[in-house]
Amino acid sequence: MALTAAEVARLGELARIRLTESETELLAPQLDVILAAVARVTEVATPDVPPTSHAIPLTNVFRDDVVVPSLPRADVLAAAPSVEDGRFRVPRILGEDA
C-alpha cells in the first residue's frame, strides 16, 4: 500500500508539521519504506518464537562479590576537603523545610 502525498500531508497536519507540496511528494515513498520495514517485523514475531532481548544467551559476566576490609575512616577523612563530626562536610543544597 503506497502512501499518497495527500496522506503524508494529513500526517503532517496531525503532527503539526508544516510541509510543502514538494516535501510531501518526497516523503511519501520514504515513509512507505519505513512502514514496509515495520510490517516485516510483525511477520517475524510468531507465537512459537519466544521474546528475547539478545540473539544469543548471555551469562552473568560480573565477578563474585568478595568482602574486603575498607579503608580506615581517618585515612579517608584526611583526604576530604572539609570534615565535621567525623563525616564529610558538604554544602547545603536543600532548605530547612525540605
User: Distance between CA 37 and CA 41 in Å, rounded?
Assistant: 7
Residue showing cell 503506497:
2
Digit-coded pLDDT (tens) for 16-45: 999 999 999 999 999 999 999 988 877 776
Set out the domains of the chain in order of their start, with CATH numbers: 5-44 (1.10.20)
How does residue 75 score in pLDDT terms, banded at 50, 70 and 90? very high
Mean pLDDT of 51-79: 86
Burial class (CB in 10 A: 0-12, 13-18, 19+), 31: middle
Which DSSP symbol is given to 96? Answer: T
Decide if 28 contacts 4 (C-beta within 8 A): yes
What pLDDT is stored for residue 33 in this prediction? 93
Q: Is the pTM of this model over 0.85?
A: no
Q: Where are the beta strands (DSSP E) in the chain?
A: 83-84, 87-88
Residue with more model confidence, 25 or 1: 25
